[in-house]
Chains A and B, each alone.
Chain A
Amino acid sequence: MMELKEIQRLEGHTDKVWSLAWNPTTGHAGIPLVFASCSGDKTVRIWEQNLSSGLWACTAVLDETHTRTVRSCAWSPSGKLLATASFDATTAIWENVGGDFECVSTLEGHENEVKCVSWNAAGTLLATCSRDKSVWIWEVLPGNEFECVSVLQGHSQDVKMVKWHPTEDILFSCSYDNSVKVWADEGDSDDWQCVQTLGEPNNGHTSTVWALSFNVSGDKMVTCSDDLTLKVWETESVGTQSGGGFAPWTHLCTLSGYHDRTIFSVHWSREGIFASGAADNAIRLFVDDNESQVGGPLYKLLLKKEKAHDMDINSVQWSPGEKPVLASASDDGTIKVWELTSY
């Protein structure tokens, strides 16, 4: 039997904690695990693990830059920069300078609240999305400068999340318009186009899509929604196509009946377990159903952690490192760190 055991409950934020992100360069070779969290209190907090106690402490509070809720945060692949998306219509870029975080750039342009920010795998591109229905792609230039190379229109409503593919420079966005859009650069001159829309006509979600996550090899994706389902999608083997066209995504299965209220977050671990965080205050873990009969369900519930938090769970993220832990962020103002154990 598997159990999700609480390692620690972290307080400090004075409002909803909307999102958290692990620094991808931590948790290896004796480097303590570090993550950032962002909140309705307009601040971003940096949490670092003490290697002897194994517990996290807040080592920095990034404040007095964003004037409204900070909705999303994302580390660059190098771990040196942190991007934060805010309801103040800006995205701030912070650089870690000897343990202190300095705001080195502010990206403006969106008409209203910025909902999410995401770095591509190489750290050369940054994507942002907003309630203004647009997705912006920024090129990372030397000297912490950012140039907007494309403004993507196509979603008919509020865009909730953007996420780059783990290995290809393909961007995915999910929206209040119930769809997931796939964007690719069709050419050599930043000609970004929508190459696919996963909407209701092709087994897509029937309400707001809040988040998505890829498996480790990038050939499967899981999406979560206000329609109380998780959907898994797959594509042809990524990487085998040499200069060929974009490989479309197809619906694989829908996990329904497990969630009582909106699913705000989903994250797929390197070990193949995906976690969901929902408005019913529970964390659920799902895994491949290897014992499934042909035509049977492909994924099964591994466990459900009831009352993981006192209020809605807004973000669940598996950590990097040899033995990943799961962190969760909630409307109750706290972050919890969990480990998956067997008993």
Chain B
Amino acid sequence: MVTELINANPIIYEKKERRAPSAPSAPHDEYAVEPIDQQEDPEHPYSLEELKVITEEAVEVDDQRNYVRVTFTPTVEHCSMATVIGLCLRVKLMRSLPSRYKVDIRVAPGSHATEAAVNKQLNDKERVAAALENPNLLNMVDDCLASSYD
């Protein structure tokens, strides 16, 4: 059966090739969405990438667990924009990823003076939801993200 499936459907073969050896083989579904792969242009906010605030290596994706973790590095240790940058990352991912993905965003360990406080705030979804109802803040976020939609 396994052999037949592999022969009958190249997609399965292709998927299996990229999967870790011990991972269980998921039954193939014609509606299955192609896994989000870090190699497939994760659409980092370009300007942040130029500043090395975010890099490809900073994005961890676990498709099996529907999990994404982004680690970013504020430009200076006391950067007061750290929470806004994190909020931009979160909004970008919220709009780009399927809703089943759980997203954690954090400041790179050791890179910011109030790291723990910033991380807690960025991952409190109620505070994030309330912040996004603030038109001034939402406009700022949209401005930051505008170029990434080109």
Q: Which residues of A contact B (CB under 8 A)?
A: 16, 40, 68-69, 71, 87, 113, 115, 131, 158, 160, 176, 207-208, 226, 261, 279-280, 310-312, 331-332
Contact = CB atoms under 8 A, between A and B. Distances in A.
A244 B12 CA distance: 71
Nearest to A131: B130
B133 A68 contact: yes
Contact of A312 (B124, B125, B133): B125
Interface of B: 99-100, 102, 120, 124-127, 129-130, 133
A131 B102 CA distance: 25
Contact of A208 (B120, B130, B133): B120
B2 to A, nearest CB: 26
Contacts of A279: 102, 125
Contact of A158 (B125, B127, B129): B127
A158 B124 CA distance: 11
A314 to B, nearest CB: 9
23 contacts: A16-B129, A40-B129, A68-B133, A69-B129, A71-B126, A87-B130, A113-B130, A131-B127, A158-B127, A160-B126, A176-B120, A176-B124, A208-B120, A226-B120, A261-B102, A279-B102, A279-B125, A280-B102, A310-B99, A311-B99, A311-B100, A331-B125, A332-B99
A87 B133 contact: yes
A307 to B, nearest CB: 10
A310 B129 contact: no
Given A158-B127, A207-B120, A208-B120, A69 B133 contact: yes
Contacts of B102: 261, 279-280
Contacts of A332: 99
A69 B125 CA distance: 13
Given A207-B120, A312-B125, A69 B130 contact: yes
Contacts of A40: 129
A295 B133 CA distance: 49
Given A113-B130, A332-B99, 12 more contacts: A16-B129, A40-B129, A69-B129, A87-B130, A87-B133, A115-B126, A131-B130, A207-B120, A208-B120, A208-B124, A279-B102, A331-B125
Contacts of A331: 99, 125
Contacts of B124: 176, 208, 226
Across the A-B interface, the 10 shortest Cβ-Cβ residue pairs: A113-B130, A68-B133, A87-B130, A311-B99, A87-B133, A261-B102, A69-B133, A40-B129, A69-B129, A208-B124
A133 to B, nearest CB: 13
A113 B128 CA distance: 12
A280 B126 CA distance: 16
Contacts of B125: 279, 312, 331
A291 B99 CA distance: 41
Contacts of A176: 120, 124
A87 B129 CA distance: 10
B100 A310 contact: yes
A69 B99 CA distance: 20
B62 to A, nearest CB: 12
A320 to B, nearest CB: 27
B64 to A, nearest CB: 13
Contacts of A280: 102
Nearest to B100: A310
A297 B61 CA distance: 36
Contacts of B120: 176, 207-208, 226
Nearest to A311: B99
Nearest to A176: B124
Contacts of A131: 127, 130
A261 B124 CA distance: 12
A280 to B, nearest CB: 8
